[in-house]
Each structure stands twice: as structure tokens, then as C-alpha cells.
Amino acid sequence: MIKLGSVSFLNAQPLTYAIENNLINHEFDLIQTPPSELSLKLHKGDIDLGLIPVAELLKRKDYKVVPGISISSIGSVDSVIIAAKQDIKELKSVAVDKRSQSSTALLRIVLELFYGTTPEYIATDIDKEGMMDNVDGAMLIGDSGLKQCYNLSGEYKIYDLGEIWTQETGLPFVYAVFAGSKDVILGTNAGALIESKNYGLGIVDKISKIESQKLGIDYDICYKYLTDRIKYDLGHEEIKGMIKYSELLSNLGEADKITDLNFYTK
């Protein structure tokens, strides 16, 4: 069995629902892992393949990528946002999720490279009460970001980092891909991941109902998020977006610039 690591975020559910419920033929042992631990588990070999942030992928030259699958956006994403007390270009301090270095890297690209500002980044437990105390803004990601994107819109200025990225680059932003060691032999399981993705996208209505009740987020928001905001392909434009991301990360000293990706083949 191939140990497959994934996360419980809403945006990952269409990719793994069919595998988790054994609705397709596969040879995966699905392991749901906290996002903050998944990359480390992959690096240590506790899992063979993982749905990892692209920023983590760019630090590991020995990883290969499963073709045709990503979690990405073109324009607004709703789940990677800045809630701010003032204009984003005037922020002097920003609370960031201490569990996610990759989202902080995207934030740095937006603030430092796109807007030319250098605020203080304060790592914190972003879900705690009072997260906006003593800071000008806070970055919210994942299911928390999606929920607060609408709940905080009347109280704070909301800036969507996916939207800003596409405005500045003209490209999609790729948040995560399935990747793993070059020594892992996927065989037909690469096709099983594509089949699982297609199956999940065919039942988004059902997944939205399940996750809406689980997360306490309105069904309409979940459905719009999975059908309009999140994209699941990994084509030419998405790869260009990843290469552009690596270029900008290299400007920040966060990763080396790449010119192409290493993909698993049958």
C-alpha cells in the first residue's frame, strides 16, 4: 500500500473523497494529517505521497509531482485573505499563522515585492480570540479564512491574496500538489488519483452539504468555493504560475528558482 497524506481542509475533499470511501480501485492507505505536520511526515518518510504546499515542494529537489492535479485559483480564492484595519499598503504589523510558512511566503511576495512595504510579521495562533489586537492586520487561511472572508467583511477591509496574485502576474496561483519521493512507484495509482479527482468534482453538491454541516459554513459558500474559486487541474498555465512563484521566492531568499517540474510517469 502507498501511504497517502492529505488534509481535512474543505478544498481537499473532492480530491480524496472517492479514495477515502473506496469508491474507486486504488492501492492507497489514506492518512489525514494536520497541515502543519504533513510536509514533515513526507520528508521523514512516514508517508509516501502528500498533498503539500508548493512552497515546500520548491525546497525539495528530490520530490516528484503527480501530473494533472493541483489545488489552485485564478483570481479570488476566498480562503487566503488579509483582514486589515487600514489600506493593505499601509500595514505596519500583520499577524500570521505560525503553522503555515508557505502562506506567509505568499504574503511576503504581495507586501514586499508587489507593494514595496516591509511590515512586521507576528507569528501567532491565528484562530484565537483577539487575533487583531495590537496589529494592523491578520492573514487567515484555509477553512478559517473562508469563514472569516464573509464574517469580517463589514468590520475590516478584506484583501484576497489569490486575487492580488493574478492581478499582478496574470497567472493562476497553485497552493498545493500531490508530491513525493522520486523512489515511489505509483503505477496505476497515478491514474487512480485522477479518477478520484474526477469523481469528487462530479459530486461537489454532496461534498458541499457534508462539509457545510461539519464546518459550520453556509452551503452556498462551500459550493461556490469548490466550483468557482478552487481549480483542480495542473496544466501549462498552472506550471507557469509555480515557476513564477519560485522566481519571486528566490528574490526573498526562500527557495531556488526552477524552470520545470519533475513529474511521476507510468
pLDDT for 124 equals 85
Residues 117 and 183 in one domain: no
Total structural domains within the chain: 2
The residue written with cell numbers 495509482 in the block is 189
Residues 22 and 60 in one domain: yes
Burial status of residue 135 (CB atoms within 10 A of its CB: 0-12, 13-18, 19 or more): buried
| 261 assigned to some structural domain | no
| 146 assigned to some structural domain | yes
Residues 67 and 181 in one domain: yes
Residues 160 and 194 in one domain: no
3-state secondary structure 192-203: HHHHHHHHHHHC
| 263 assigned to some structural domain | no
Which of the listed residues 126, 147, 169 is the one where a domain comes to its end?
169
Residues 61 and 185 in one domain: yes
| 260 assigned to some structural domain | no
Decide: 207 and 9 in contact? Cβ < 8 Å. Answer: no
Residues 52 and 85 in one domain: no
Decide: 221 and 209 in contact? Cβ < 8 Å. Answer: no
CATH number at residue 92: 3.40.190.10
Burial status of residue 44 (CB atoms within 10 A of its CB: 0-12, 13-18, 19 or more): exposed
Per residue of the chain (266 residues), give pLDDT as tens. Answer: 999 999 999 999 999 999 999 999 999 999 999 888 899 999 999 999 999 999 999 988 889 999 999 999 999 999 999 999 999 999 999 999 877 777 889 999 999 999 999 999 998 887 767 778 889 999 999 998 998 888 876 789 999 999 999 999 999 999 999 999 989 999 999 999 999 999 999 999 999 999 999 999 999 999 999 999 999 999 999 999 999 999 999 999 988 899 999 999 86
Residues 104 and 26 in one domain: no
pLDDT for 234 equals 98
Residues 89 and 63 in one domain: no
Residues 246 and 187 in one domain: yes
Enter the C-alpha cell of residue 28: 492507497
| 266 assigned to some structural domain | no
Residues 205 and 226 in one domain: yes
The whole-angstrom separation of Cα 214 and Cα 217 is: 8
Helix H or strand E segment including 141: strand 137-141
Which of the listed residues 169, 195, 213 is the one where a domain comes to its end?
169
The whole-angstrom separation of Cα 247 and Cα 193 is: 29
| 204 assigned to some structural domain | yes
| 99 assigned to some structural domain | yes
pLDDT for 51 equals 97
Residues 109 and 218 in one domain: no
pLDDT for 100 equals 79
Contacts of 59-64 with C-beta under 8 Å, sequence gap 24+, read 59/255, 60/179, 61/256, 62/181, 62/182, 63/179, 63/180, 63/181, 63/182, 63/262, 64/179, 64/180, 64/181, 64/182, 64/184, 64/262, 64/263, 64/264
Residues 19 and 33 in one domain: yes
Q: Which domain holds residue 38?
A: 2-72+173-251
pLDDT for 255 equals 87
Which of the listed residues 111, 143, 169 is the one where a domain comes to its end?
169
| 161 assigned to some structural domain | yes
Read off the DSSP letter of residue 263: B
The distance in angstroms from the start CA to the end CA of the chain is: 17
**17 in helix, strand or coil?**
helix
CB atoms within 10 A of CB 19: 23
